[in-house]
A and B are shown apart, each in its own frame.
Chain A
Amino acid sequence: MSTVITVENLGKKYTLQHQQRESYTALRDVIANGVASFGKRVAQPFRRSLNAPPSSLNSTSEEFWALKDVSFEVKQGNRIGIIGRNGAGKSTLLKILSRITEPTTGSVRIKGRVASLLEVGTGFHPELSGRENIYLNGAILGMSRSEIRKKFDEIVDFAEIERFLDTPVKRYSSGMYVRLAFAVAAHLEPEILVVDEVLAVGDALFQKKCLGKMKEVSACEGRTVLFVSHNLQAVRQLCSRCLLVKAGQLVADATPVQAIESYLQFDPLCEEVDIQARIAALPQDPAFRLETVRIRQEGEVVSSLGNGAPITVGINYRVLRKTKGLRVFLDLVDDEENLLFRTFHDEDSDGIDVMEPGHYHSEATIPADLLSPTRYHLRVLATVFNERMCIPYPGLVFPLDVERTGRSNRAYLGEPVRGKLAPFIPWQTTVVSSL
């Protein structure tokens, strides 16, 4: 298989200017700054060399490398996932590969036609009909008119919008809009397809259809796919190789499983920022106010928890008015956002409780020998049954780093623990008969 993309020492520098409040330069600022520095020079002709920065603009600008020394190769037919935190440089990399922006250093060689899908429905115009937008969007993505005409029916079929072809897309539901946009993109026939986080929109079924389409296109027709996503499950499903980007640098180039592993290890998805600040940032609810959440093990607030002892989650909250069916609950999710269990504060009760106004403390105990030595997320949520969420999704999220301290055969400590949960299951083994 031939190499289709060669990236060498790629770097991209941005200059940040702190002084400006607006995101763009205004001519008046440039003039004002020029006049100010000129004025300074006139007023203090001899002291200029003493003032370290010669111009007032430079004093406030700072260099920032969004990408630095990135090198890798891609072979034809590879499906490459690119993962990393927000701001790690993934999107900058894709933008350079799709020639939207220029690199500052290094080079890229690409063989073949590149189509980049950095956003669903780029260039869609709300006033135009579905039919017109298919042509427009196709042209924007690099299809020729004859190509679009040839695939038109297929696109319409894929998007399932026959009846609305001549309706302006501003009247489309968001689902229809996304389907149409993706349908156009899915029928591109580039040698290299660059996709950025576009599956985040759209319903699960359609996402699956799209993933399937991408996989099919790559496997059957030998097309190369570069895929950026926060959806680790999708990366794992689709990709054959995975690049991990951190702070502008390539830190891993491995199989998806390995890369995802190291991503989750060094990159806490959610840092231990001030819990109180996060609580304060939650939307206000008329009946419920969260006050503190404390996660402890054996009475201590610890940064790393063991699975050998119970973990208690203490939640302080106020009920501001008499409320029926108010339930505080916890979700334990794994690193791929799969829900492992959900538990409510009133599990013990046998009816819909009415909570009087007051100050409450609910404490949940996650038993010892249940969790696996891995990273989970714990979400704290509250709802009024059948009415509303008091804390909207995803709730107040805490990372839970669990270490192995629980009961298991110590002789096999070197072996990784498989499974999202590792409850201690009592076994009984008896010799039925000896030979």
Chain B
Amino acid sequence: MTEEREIIIRPGMGALHYWRDIWRYRELFFFLAWRDILVRYKQTAIGIAWSVIRPLATMLVFTVVFGKLAKLPSNGVPYPVMVYAAMLPWQFFANSLTESSNSLIDNANLLTKVYFPRLIVPAGSVIVSLVDFLISFVILGGLMAWYRCLPDMKIMLLPLFLIMAFFASFGAGLWLAALNVKYRDFRYVVPFLVQFGLYISPVGFSSAIVPEKWRFFYYLNPMVGVIDGFRWAILGDAFPVNWVGFWLSVLLVLLIFAGGVLYFRRMERSFADVV
């Protein structure tokens, strides 16, 4: 850290060395994520249990409403397992979105007092949600053992879908984080988005029941591809993936992510002045 280096500060020069700076500040990134995780489990009375109870409760409700009352098909897989396998990526996405959209505001005191690449703040929030995801994943293991449905080799592909979920969450999170700094009423938009998204994504039902004529619009929701991928990797061929729709989702995820990074970078310069 003692190497001689020259910093030039000039209007509009924020971009220079940005990615190198991110690398240089990687430790801060880990510390911020570590802080958030630590604080999270220190502050809440039930701590870790919280990240278990939430998806379980939602799963229960969905199983009763969609599986028992509406009697939607579950292709031979126990309904709770089908819901929970989709619940995982969705919770990850929803948590990341909520956390990262507030992350800059929550860390306003840091933004106005210290320099670091601002990108690491929302990135840290996504990491925290990832920890929750991993905890919930263990529950899935237990649930599948209970219902005796074993995954096949396709589960090896799960990390790929997780990466896709990560980029979707991070990309959307970047958009919302930056927008939230500029327009504070976005904090009211986010919970609505999350709630709305839960019903247009195949969490409580499977993609197979979506009518053909709506398919195109249905797949415009990038989480559809992610969730379908998760189900396919975990539960096997009972839930075939619509690959055209899937690649459309992938494309959208990439667009959202790239757009998110660009927009965030553009807004970043003024964060300290407006936050």
Contacts and interface: CB of A to CB of B under 8 A. Distances in A.
B212 interface: no
A24 interface: yes
B114 A25 contact: no
B115 A98 contact: yes
Given A96-B9, A102-B14, A140-B114, A128 B38 contact: yes
B158 interface: no
A39 B28 CA distance: 49
A25 B4 contact: no
A132 B14 CA distance: 31
A132 B37 CA distance: 13
A140 B2 CA distance: 17
B35 A128 contact: yes
A393 B4 CA distance: 49
B4 A112 contact: yes
Contacts of A118: 112-114
Contacts of B110: 122-123, 140
Q: How large is the interface on A (under 10, 10 to 19, 20 to 34, 35 or more residues)?
A: 35 or more
Contact of B9 (A25, A110, A112, A132): A110
Interface string B98-113: 0000000000011111
A223 B157 CA distance: 53
B39 to A, nearest CB: 5
A220 interface: no
Contacts of A106: 10-11
B39 A24 contact: no
A107 interface: yes
Given A14-B273, A100-B114, 20 more contacts: A24-B183, A27-B185, A99-B9, A102-B12, A102-B13, A103-B11, A106-B10, A110-B7, A111-B4, A111-B5, A113-B5, A119-B109, A123-B110, A125-B35, A132-B38, A136-B35, A140-B31, A140-B110, A140-B114, A142-B28
A107 B10 contact: yes
Given A27-B186, A127-B43, A139-B28, A122 B4 contact: no
A240 to B, nearest CB: 23
A101 B273 contact: yes
A83 to B, nearest CB: 21
A122 B9 contact: no
A139 B31 contact: yes
25 contacts: A14-B273, A22-B184, A24-B182, A24-B274, A25-B184, A27-B183, A95-B272, A97-B9, A98-B114, A101-B273, A102-B13, A103-B10, A103-B11, A106-B10, A108-B8, A109-B7, A113-B2, A116-B114, A118-B114, A125-B35, A127-B38, A135-B31, A136-B31, A139-B28, A140-B110
A30 B183 CA distance: 9
A111 B6 contact: yes
Interface centre among B7, B9, B186, B270, by most chain A C-beta atoms within 10 angstroms, is B9
Nearest to B183: A27
B185 A114 contact: no
Contacts of B31: 135-136, 139-140
A107 B9 contact: yes
Given A100-B114, A122-B110, A123-B109, A109 B11 contact: no
A145 B10 CA distance: 31
B269 interface: yes
A109 B5 CA distance: 10
Interface in B19-59: 27-28, 31, 35, 38-39, 42-43
Contact of A122 (B5, B114, B182): B114
A244 interface: no
Interface string A235-255: 000000000000000000000
Nearest to A107: B10
Interface residues of B, number: 39
Nearest to B21: A99
Q: Lowest 9 A-B CB distances belong to which pairs? A: A27-B183, A99-B115, A139-B31, A108-B9, A107-B10, A122-B113, A110-B7, A101-B272, A118-B113
Interface centre among A96, A102, A111, A113, by most chain B C-beta atoms within 10 angstroms, is A102
A22 B185 CA distance: 12
Contacts of B269: 101-102
A101 B111 CA distance: 9
Contacts of A105: 11
A122 B35 CA distance: 14
Interface in B162-200: 182-186
A132 B9 CA distance: 33
B8 A145 contact: no
Given A26-B183, A110-B6, A128-B38, A144 B1 contact: yes
Interface in A13-61: 14, 22, 24-28, 30
Given A127-B39, A139-B28, A140-B31, A119 B9 contact: no
Nearest to A103: B11
A125 B39 contact: yes
A145 B28 CA distance: 9
B182 to A, nearest CB: 6
A40 B15 CA distance: 40
Interface centre among A97, A108, A139, by most chain B C-beta atoms within 10 angstroms, is A139
A111 B112 CA distance: 23
B114 A107 contact: no
Contacts of B116: 140
Contacts of A97: 9
B5 to A, nearest CB: 7
A154 B73 CA distance: 65
A139 B67 CA distance: 50
B119 to A, nearest CB: 14
Contacts of A96: 9
A109 B6 contact: yes
Contacts of B10: 103, 106-108
A417 B13 CA distance: 51
Interface in A115-148: 116, 118-119, 122-123, 125, 127-128, 132, 135-136, 139-142, 144-145, 147
A104 interface: yes
A101 B9 CA distance: 10
Interface string B131-173: 0000000000000000000000000000000000000000000
A247 B116 CA distance: 29
